[in-house]
C-alpha cells in the first residue's frame, strides 16, 4: 500500500427491490427485498477489499451499486470527493473508464465473434485512447503479455472458443486493465475455472492490483480465496456487513459467529462450495422475510434473547476491526 488515499466509499448504502413472491403456490404478492441494507465500506488506493458471504448475501448487488449499474435506494457512494449520484456526464464518462469489472464467467463476458485483439482494442477505441489503430494494437499486445499470454501474437488473432478457460479469464483481466483504471472489481473471478488453474489467475490478479496501485474489490463465497488476495475483508450476511477489518485480524480473531462458520467451511473441496457450515444450523432465511433483531439469530449457535429483538450495530474492536454482534456490545 503506497498511500492511504480513499478511492471509493459506500456510506449507509441501501438497495431494495420490489419483487413478486408466490404464496400458497399461486397468489403473487409484492414484497421488498433488502439486497443491501445500510453498509459502510471503503477501499484505499493500492489495497484490496475482499467481500465474502453465501450466495444471495448482497455481494454482487454491492458491486453493481459501486459501479453505478444500480441506483441506490438510499445512502451514497463517494468517488474521491464526488458523490456518484451527483456526477455530470463528463465525470461519469471518466468514471466508466476508471472503474472496471472482471466477471465470474469468462465464457460469457467475451464476445464470441470478436478476435482477442478486437476484444482488447474495443475499449481503447470507445474512450479514444491511442492515436491510431497501430498504437492501440501495441497497447493490446503489451497488456496481453503482462497478463501472461505471451508471445501475444500467438493469441491476438484467436477467437475466445480457441482458448482455455484460464486464458479467457486472463483476456478478461487484460481488457479491464488496458484502460488503466483506478478501481477494479472482480466478482467470483475464478469460480468457473478448473481448480488446477485458479491459483495462476488469482496470482495474476493480485500482481496487477499491487503493481498498478489500484483499489481492488474481490468478491467470493470462499474466505480462503479472499484471505489470499485481500488486505481487508468484509463479511456479508443477508445484505449486512457483519464483520470487517484487516484480513489477518478478521481471520485470526473472527469475532462474529458467522465469520467463524465461514472459516470452518473454507477447506471444502466442492468447487461450488455448497456451504457445509457445520457450526450453524438451517438455511439462510428468505431475504423478503427477514427475522427481527439480528438476522443471523435463527442459525446462530450463540444467540441470546436480545438477539431476537434488537439489531446489533457495528462496534470497533480496535485497528478498524468492526463487528456487529451483541456478544461484543453491538447495541
Are 255 and 317 in contact, with CB atoms under 8 Å apart? yes
Q: What is the DSSP letter of 6?
A: E
- Where would I find the H helices in the chain? 59-66, 89-98, 106-109, 116-126, 133-146, 153-156, 165-177, 195-211, 223-229, 247-253, 257-265, 305-309
If the CB atoms of residues 136 and 326 are measured against ligand SF4, the closer one turns out to be 326
Considering beta carbons, is residue 106 or 330 the nearer one to ligand SF4? Answer: 330
Which residue, 44 or 298, is less far from ligand SF4 as judged by CB? 298
Cα 327 to Cα 331: distance, rounded to the nearest angstrom: 10
> Based on CB atoms, which residue is closest to ligand SF4, 19 or 327?
327
Contact 166, 160 (CB under 8 A): no
Is 325 near ligand SF4 (CB under 6 A)?
Answer: yes
- Of the pair 181, 257, the CB lying nearest ligand SF4 is at 257
Pick the closer one to ligand SF4 by CB: 178 or 325: 325
307 binds ligand SF4 (CB under 6 A): yes
Q: Residue 12 CB, nearest distance to ligand SF4 (Å)?
A: 20
Residue 181 binding ligand SF4, by CB under 6 A: no
Between residue 267 and residue 296, which ones bind ligand SF4 under the rule CB under 6 A? 294, 296
Q: Considering the rule CB under 6 A, would residue 225 count as an interface residue with ligand SF4?
A: no
| Rounded Cα–Cα distance for residues 226 and 234 (Å) | 10
Among 53, 312, 314, 322, binds ligand SF4 (CB under 6 A): 312
Give the pairing type, strands 48-52 and 6-23.
unpaired
Q: Whole-angstrom Cα distance, residue 34 to residue 329?
A: 25
**Closer residue to ligand SF4 (CB): 168 or 256:** 256
Nearest alpha-carbon partner for 297 in 309, 307, 282, 305: 307
Query: Residue 209, Cβ neighbours under 10 Å: how many?
Result: 23
- Name which position in 257, 273, 287, 314 contacts ligand SF4 (CB under 6 A): 257
303 binds ligand SF4 (CB under 6 A): yes
Q: Does 166 bind ligand SF4 (CB under 6 A)?
A: no
Q: How far is the CB of 152 from ligand SF4 (least distance, A)?
A: 50
Binding flag, residue 297, ligand SF4 (CB under 6 A): yes
- Count the site residues for ligand SF4 by CB under 6 A: 14
Task: Find the part of the chain contacting ligand SF4 (CB under 6 A) among 55-63, 67-75, 80-88, 297-305.
Answer: 297-305
- Residue 228, number of CB atoms within 10 A of its CB: 17
By CB under 6 A, name the one of 302, 315, 317, 321 that touches ligand SF4: 302
Is residue 254 a contact point for ligand SF4 (CB under 6 A)? no
Site for ligand SF4 contains 13 (CB under 6 A): no
Distances (CA, A) of 40 to 8, 43, 147, 239, 313: 11, 11, 32, 11, 12
Order of strands across the sheet that contains 74-79? 27-44, 6-23, 74-79, 82-83
| Helix (H/G/I), strand (E/B), else coil: 270 | coil
Task: Enumerate binding residues for ligand SF4 (CB under 6 A).
Answer: 256-257, 294, 296-297, 300, 302-304, 307, 312, 325-327
Amino acid at each position: 500500500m503506497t498511500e492511504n488515499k480513499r478511492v471509493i466509499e459506500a456510506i449507509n448504502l441501501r438497495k431494495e427491490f420490489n419483487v413478486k413472491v408466490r404464496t400458497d403456490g399461486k397468489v403473487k404478492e409484492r414484497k421488498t427485498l433488502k439486497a443491501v441494507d445500510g453498509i459502510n465500506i471503503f477501499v484505499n488506493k493500492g489495497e484490496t477489499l475482499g467481500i465474502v458471504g453465501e450466495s444471495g448475501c448482497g455481494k454482487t448487488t454491492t458491486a453493481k451499486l459501486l459501479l453505478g449499474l444500480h441506483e441506490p435506494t438510499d445512502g451514497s457512494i463517494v468517488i474521491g470527493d464526488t458523490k456518484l449520484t451527483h456526477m455530470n456526464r463528463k465525470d461519469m464518462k471518466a468514471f466508466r473508464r476508471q472503474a472496471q469489472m472482471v466477471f465470474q464467467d469468462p465464457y460469457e463476458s467475451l464476445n464470441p465473434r470478436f478476435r482477442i485483439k478486437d476484444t482488447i482494442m474495443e475499449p481503447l477505441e470507445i474512450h479514444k485512447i491511442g492515436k491510431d489503430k497501430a498504437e492501440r494494437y501495441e497497447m493490446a499486445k503489451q497488456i496481453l503479455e503482462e497478463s501472461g499470454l505471451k508471445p501475444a501474437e500467438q493469441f491476438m488473432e484467436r477467437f475466445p472458443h480457441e482458448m482455455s478457460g484460464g486464458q479467457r479469464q486472463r483476456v478478461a483481466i487484460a481488457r479491464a486493465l488496458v484502460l488503466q483504471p483506478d478501481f477494479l472489481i472482480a466478482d467470483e473471478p475464478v469460480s468457473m475455472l478448473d481448480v488446477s488453474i485458479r491459483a495462476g489467475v488469482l496470482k495474476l490478479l493480485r500482481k496487477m492490483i499491487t503493481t498498478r496501485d489500484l483499489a481492488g474489490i474481490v468478491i467470493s463465497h470462499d474466505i480462503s480465496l479472499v484471505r489470499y488476495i485481500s488486505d481487508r475483508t468484509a463479511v456479508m450476511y443477508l445484505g449486512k456487513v457483519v464483520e470487517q477489518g484487516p484480513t489477518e485480524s478478521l481471520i485470526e480473531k473472527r469475532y462474529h459467529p458467522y465469520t467463524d462458520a465461514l472459516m470452518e467451511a473454507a477447506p471444502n473441496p466442492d468447487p461450488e462450495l455448497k456451504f457445509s457450515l457445520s457450526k450453524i444450523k438451517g438455511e439462510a432465511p428468505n431475504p423478503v422475510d427477514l427475522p427481527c433483531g439480528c438476522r443471523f439469530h435463527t442459525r446462530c449457535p450463540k444467540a441470546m434473547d436480545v438477539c431476537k429483538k434488537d439489531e446489533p450495530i457495528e462496534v470497533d474492536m480496535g485497528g478498524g476491526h468492526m463487528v456487529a454482534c451483541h456478544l461484543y456490545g453491538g447495541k
